Amino acid sequence: MNFHHIGVPVDKSKLSNKARYSTMFKMYSEDAINDLGIHIEYHAFENGCPLDKRITSKEHIAFKVDNIEDELKGKEVLMPLYEPFKGYRCAMILVNDVLVELIETTLSEKEIWEDEETLKNGVLYNDSL
C-alpha cells in the first residue's frame, strides 16, 4: 500500500466555487494540498447522500494498492468497489474504526488531481464539469 490522500468532511461553506458536485452521491469535493505537500480532499455532503453515515462524518485515509479485490477480502466494506472514472477503481473499508479508502489505478497523479477530462470520463462528476 502507498499513501494517496486524506479525505475530510466539511461544511459546504468551507469550499470554494471550484468544488465539483456529484449528483450520484449528493456530494461536493474540492482538492487541496496542505503545507506538507499532502493531498487533501474536502467533501461536503447534502441531505439524502446515499453513502454510509460514517463516510459523511469521519475523516478517511486513502492508499493505492496493486490488487483491490485482494485487499477487500474479509474486510468490512462501507463503500463497495466501483470505478468513478476510467482507470480509477476505489472502495472504502473500516479497519480498527478507521475509514480507509483503497484505490487501484493506472492513472498518473497529474491525471487524477489536475485533468478535468479524466474526471469527465466516468460516473462521479461527468454531469457537473
Q: What is the CATH number of the domain that holds 79?
A: 3.10.180.10
- Could you tell me the pTM of the whole model? 0.92
58 closest CA partner among 89, 26, 84, 97:
97
Whether 85 is in a domain gets the answer yes
Whether 128 is in a domain gets the answer no
Mapped onto helix, strand or coil, the DSSP state of residue 125 is: coil
Confidence of residue 125 (pLDDT cuts 50, 70, 90): confident
List strand residue ranges (DSSP E) for 67-129, in order: 76-85, 88-95, 98-105
Query: What is the spatial distance between Cα 81 and Cα 17, in angstroms, rounded to a whole number?
Result: 29
Whether 105 is in a domain gets the answer yes
Span 17-21, mean pLDDT? Answer: 92
Whether 127 is in a domain gets the answer no
Domains: count for the chain: 1
Query: What is the spatial distance between Cα 45 and Cα 22, in angstroms, rounded to a whole number?
Result: 10
C-alpha cell at 4: 494517496
**For residue 58, what pLDDT is reported?**
98
Whether 33 is in a domain gets the answer yes
Whether 104 is in a domain gets the answer yes
Q: Which domain holds residue 112?
A: 2-120
Average pLDDT score over the chain:
93
